[in-house]
Chains A and B, each alone.
Chain A
Amino acid sequence: MRDVAIIAAGQTKFARTEWPLIDLLVEGARTALADVEIDESIIQAVVVANMGAGILNHQSGVASAVVDGLGLFPAHAELVENGPASGASAVKMAFLGIAAGYYDVVLVIGGEKMRAVNGWESTDFVATLTHPFAEYIYGVTLPSMAGLFARLYMEKYGITPEHLAMVAIKNHNNAMFNPEAHVQQRITMEGILHRPEAVVNNPIVADPLRMFDCCPVSDGAAGLVLCAAERAGQFTDKPVLIAGVGQATDTHVVHEREDPTDLKAVTLASEQAFKMARVGPDQVDVAELHDAFTILEIAESEHAGFFPKGEGHKALERGETQIGGKLPINPSGGLKARGHPVGATGIAQLVEITKQLRGDAGQRQVKKAKTGFTLNFGGFGNNVLAFVLKKT
């Protein structure tokens, strides 16, 4: 297998936009292409990540349309739909093509136009990933799946609403330094939890989770250019190596898991990525985790191996996961504040780690970052991908 490097990375500002889906994806690709000097005709394939075009935008054949929008004929084009893990899955497919020696240069682009519909329709769209007969019919939403999980996890490990709020406050603070973040709004423990006004400021979405425990609904796109590592030097002085890739699946119906608080796929995917990269979690300098809900950042930080089970919230309390801490988590603002256009997220995580490892992350730069980690969590933990990236 050949080594694969990221030679360019970019994303649109995540927001609520008026861009049609394909334009949004093309714009995401342009931000990545603008990040490197490259003759675009050497791009052999375009892998597109998108979860909801069929439902949200009444559109199919998305990858072909994106190649058309970019004018990159006759590049190969494929769409990867893997729920909220579509982004990381698309990167994995591009990685495999290059590692196998079939391609040298591949453009990966992920995006979602979620605000094409109302909030209750986008909530329903995401809920279609749950089991149709065992879960969906009851009106469950992704926040409610997280709520069911959070109640158990919090009771088991003594996590309080304050801990959840700390995740939100940290990630909102980080996003203040990320111009591409959807939400740029500082929040305080007083305002979202302790003041009497909190009942309105931060209403229950799916108890115990409140509004500020949940990511916003965003439009946006993110892109990467992947290249055989042996050729990366032709294009950039700072290629970032994809050192480890891991993936694991778990039951579709969440309550079929023997221990519903055990995010097995997170553990397995992370272990696989670390093993391939020949590093341990203790060597990671910066991580982007899938904090679609605050509880997930805490739980994933444990399941990925950064902290023992039940210790993640204590590390958070000690400030270890802040920029400047032992292991900064979600310096970009995470899904919580950067936003979560589902097809873009897995790629946006890699965009952030690429910037961090190159030293291009501006005011949110994690000092001396050499090894980075991303975790993209699909379904409610039924399809998870992990990446380990290394500075070269």
Chain B
Amino acid sequence: MNELEATLRPKETEQPPYPPKRVVLASGESMIVRQATRQEVPKLLEVLEPLIWVERDYYDIVGARMFSELLGWKRFRVKDEYCLVGVMNGMLVGLVNGRSLSRNIGISLHTMAFHRGLRVGAHLFAAKMEYHIEYLNQREIYVVAESPIGFRRWMIEYALEERRHVAHELGGVMSYALTRDLYFASKDRLVVGERPVSEEMLASTLDFEIPDPDLLVTQVSGRAK
């Protein structure tokens, strides 16, 4: 790496990994939640790309921001970012990402679910909180949302605290925070799943398929095909 590149590239902090878990969904099917690798980013971008034109529920902003965050991570332009993916029957059903602001503070970035009606988003958001609090051992996580639906869901379900003096890095809006206390107070009803995940199951998630982009856009936008 040349000197200029080293200057432009944020220095990564060594982070403990997110241990994969298995979540049995309402359908009885298993979703494996595991950490994505940098090499998988192009596939994730492929899923997100068509969504950046869907205005409904702020899919456009969430999609575009997530696209740029993951691209930034892949090309070494974001510090200490990670991404968790949910894979069911070899198919990508959702992803969440976040990063560490410091040793004690986590930043929740985005949550996207591609399968409706099975609470994939709720499970993945919970997995993200779990990672920050239980594995990165952080004091609190700053959370905001672009969509009113997302905002109301996380605020009410987790009873987040206001951080009036913290402008969230997503658009500069006031942050809310999930503290360790809040997390452990609601963990029983929000964070589920089994560990360890068998080698075989984990292997089934390695070369995951991605949802058909046309179908996905139809599904999230409610547009007739």
Contacts and interface: CB of A to CB of B under 8 A. Distances in A.
| A–B direct contact (CB < 8 Å) | yes
Interface of A: 15-19, 115, 118-120, 183, 185-188, 190-192, 195-203, 212, 219
B117 A190 contact: no
8 contacts: A18-B56, A118-B148, A118-B149, A185-B118, A187-B27, A191-B25, A199-B190, A201-B118
- Most chain A CB within a 10 A radius of its CB, from B26, B27, B29, B117: B26
A337 B126 CA distance: 27
Interface in B169-197: 188-193
A185 B120 CA distance: 13
Contact of A185 (B27, B148, B188, B224): B27
Given A120-B152, A183-B117, A191 B188 contact: no
Q: Which 3 A-B pairs have the closest CB atoms?
A: A188-B28, A191-B26, A201-B26
Contacts of A19: 224
Interface of B: 23-29, 56, 117-119, 122-123, 126, 148-149, 152, 188-193, 221-224
Contacts of A197: 23-25, 123, 192-193
B148 to A, nearest CB: 6
Contacts of A115: 222
Contacts of B188: 199
B171 to A, nearest CB: 21
Contact of B222 (A15, A186, A195, A212): A15
A200 B123 contact: yes
B222 A18 contact: yes
Q: Which residue, A119, A186, A200, has most C-beta atoms of chain B within 10 A?
A: A200
Given A118-B148, A119-B149, A120-B152, A18 B223 contact: yes
Contacts of A200: 119, 122-123, 126, 189-192
A183 B221 CA distance: 16
Contacts of A185: 26-27, 117-118
A196 B193 CA distance: 8
Contact of A199 (B152, B192, B223, B224): B192
A192 B26 CA distance: 5
Given A18-B221, A115-B222, A119-B149, A195 B189 contact: no
A61 to B, nearest CB: 25
A187 B118 CA distance: 9
A19 B29 CA distance: 33
Most A CB contacts (10 A, CB to CB) among B29, B189, B192 go to B192
Given A17-B224, A18-B223, A200-B122, 10 more contacts: A120-B152, A185-B117, A187-B27, A191-B26, A192-B26, A199-B188, A200-B192, A201-B24, A201-B118, A201-B119
B83 to A, nearest CB: 21
Contacts of B27: 185-188, 191
Nearest to B149: A118
B26 A187 contact: yes
B208 to A, nearest CB: 20
Nearest to A119: B149
A339 to B, nearest CB: 12
